[in-house]
Amino acid sequence: MDGMKASDSRTPSAELLCQMALVHRSQGNFKASISLFQQALSVATSAGDEKMKAEAANGLGTIFLFMSNYAEAEQYYTQAQDVSTRIGDGLSQARALRGMGSTYHHQNKLTQAEESYTRARNIFSRLGHLDGQASVSRALGNIFSDRSQYYKAEELYNQANNIYARIGNDLGHGDTLMRLGELFETQSQYPKAEEFFNRALEKYTRIGHNMGRANIKSALGHVYRVQGLNTRAAPLLAEARDLYALIGDSATEKNCSDWLAVVSAEEDSSTASPCPGDDDVSSPAHQH
Please count the residues of the chain: 288
CB proximity list for 216: less than 8 A, separation 6 or greater: 178, 181, 197, 200, 201, 204
Per-residue confidence (pLDDT) for residue 223, from 0 to 100: 97
CA dihedral (9, 13, 19, 22) positive or negative: positive
272-282 pLDDT tens trace = 444 433 433 33
Three-class SS string for 170-184?
A: HHHHHHHHHHHHHHH
Per-residue confidence (pLDDT) for residue 151, from 0 to 100: 97
3-state secondary structure of 272: coil
Residue 164 · residue 172 · CB < 8 Å: yes
Does the pTM surpass 0.85? The reply is no
- Distance CA(78)–CA(154), nearest Å, equals 30
Q: Would you give the distance in Å from CA 276 to the centre of its chain? A: 33
Residue 101 · residue 139 · CB < 8 Å: yes
Per-residue confidence (pLDDT) for residue 26, from 0 to 100: 83
Place 149 in a pLDDT band, splitting at 50, 70 and 90: very high
Percentage of the chain lying above the pLDDT 70 cut: 89
240-279 pLDDT tens trace = 999 999 988 899 999 999 999 999 988 666 444 444 334 3
112-144 pLDDT tens trace = 999 999 999 999 999 999 999 999 999 999 999
Per-residue confidence (pLDDT) for residue 8, from 0 to 100: 53
CB proximity list for 25: less than 8 A, separation 6 or greater: 33, 59, 62, 63, 66
Residue 50 · residue 87 · CB < 8 Å: yes
CA dihedral (143, 146, 149, 153) positive or negative: positive
Residue 9 predicted with pLDDT over 80: no
- Distance CA(86)–CA(80), nearest Å, equals 10
Per-residue confidence (pLDDT) for residue 12, from 0 to 100: 86
Q: Would you give the distance in Å from CA 196 to the centre of its chain? A: 18
